[in-house]
Amino acid sequence: MRRILCVLLAAGCPVSVATAQLDQDERESIETAPLDRPNSIYTVETAPEIDGVLEELWQDGTPLSDSFRQVEPREGAEPTERTEVYLMRDSRNFYVGFRCWDRDAASISATQMKYDGDFDPDDNVTIVIDPFRDRRTGYTFQMTAGGARKDGRITNGDRVDYNWDGIWYGRTSIDEHGWTAEMVIPFQTILADPDVGEWGINAQRFIRSRNETVRWATPRRDIRISSVANADLVAGFEDFDIGAGFDFKPFVRADIRDDGQGNTDFASTAGLDMFWKIDPSLTLVLTINNDFAETEVDQRQINFGRFPLFFPEKRDFFLEDAGFFNFGGIRRNPLPFYSRRIGIGPDGAEQGILAGIRMTGKVEDLNVGLMNVQMKSNGFSKNYSVARVFGDVLDESTVGAIMTVGDPAQGERNVVGGVDFNYKNTNLEGGRSLTANAFALVSDSSDRSGDSTAFGFKVGYPNDVVGWYGGFSRIGDAYDAALGFNPRTGIYEYFGGWRYRWRPESDLVRSIETGFNGFLVTDLQSDLESLDMEIEALEIETEDGSTLNLNYLRRREVPFRPFTVANAVTIAAGDYAWNAVEASFSSSEANPLTVDADLGWSGYYGGSRLEWTAGSTWRISPQLVVGGTFTYNDIEVQDQRVITRQLTAIADVYFTPDVSLQNYLQWDDVSDTVGINARFRWTPEPGTDLYIVFNQNVESENLEFTLTQSELITKFGWTIRF
Collapsed DSSP state (helix, strand, coil) of residue 318 = helix
In a domain, 104, yes or no: yes
Split into its structural domains, the chain has a count of: 1
Which residues neighbour 203 within 8 Å (Cβ) at sequence distance 6 or greater?
Answer: 64, 68, 83, 85, 98, 125, 126, 127, 128, 215, 216, 217
Query: Which residue type sits at 179?
Result: W
**Residue 703: what pLDDT?**
64
Could you read off the pLDDT of 280-324 as tens digits, one per residue? Answer: 889 999 999 877 767 777 788 888 888 888 888 878 788 888 888
| Domain membership flag for residue 67 | yes
Residue 123 domain-assigned (yes or no): yes
pLDDT single digits (tens) 9-47: 333 333 222 222 233 333 233 333 334 445 889 888 888
Q: Give me the CATH number covering residue 97.
A: 2.60.40.1190
Give residue 151's pLDDT.
94
**pLDDT value of position 372:** 95
The answer, yes or no, to whether residue 237 has pLDDT greater than 70, is: yes
pLDDT confidence of residue 20:
28
Task: Assess if residue 1 is contained within a domain.
Answer: no
Q: pLDDT value at position 59?
A: 81
User: What mean pLDDT do residues 447-474 have?
Assistant: 94
* Residue 350, pLDDT score: 67
pLDDT band at 371 (very low <50, low <70, confident <90, very high): very high
Residue scoring higher pLDDT (517 or 162): 517
Question: What pLDDT score does 377 carry?
Answer: 65
Can you give the pLDDT at residue 411?
Answer: 75
Calculate mean pLDDT across residues 272-279: 90
Please report the pLDDT score of residue 708 as a whole number. 80
Measure the CA–CA gap between 289 and 535, rounded to whole angstroms: 50
Calculate mean pLDDT across residues 518-524.
96
- Rounded Cα distance, 372 and 300, in Å: 29
Q: Looking at 36-45, 349-358, 473-482, which range is the least confident one?
A: 36-45
State which H helix or E strand residue 10 sits in: helix 2-11
d(CA 6, CA 77): 49
Is residue 124 a part of any domain in this protein?
A: yes
Residue 199 covered by a domain: yes
- How confident is the model at residue 22, as a pLDDT? 30
- In Å, how far from its chain's centre is CA 259? 35
Taking residues 77-83, report their average pLDDT. 95
**Rounded mean pLDDT of 199-217?**
95
- The pLDDT score that the predictor gives to residue 387 is 97
Name the H helices within 589-661. none
Is 649 within a domain?
A: no
249 domain-assigned: no
Q: What's the rounded Cα separation, in Å, for the pair 162 and 165?
A: 8
Residue 151's domain comprises: 38-235
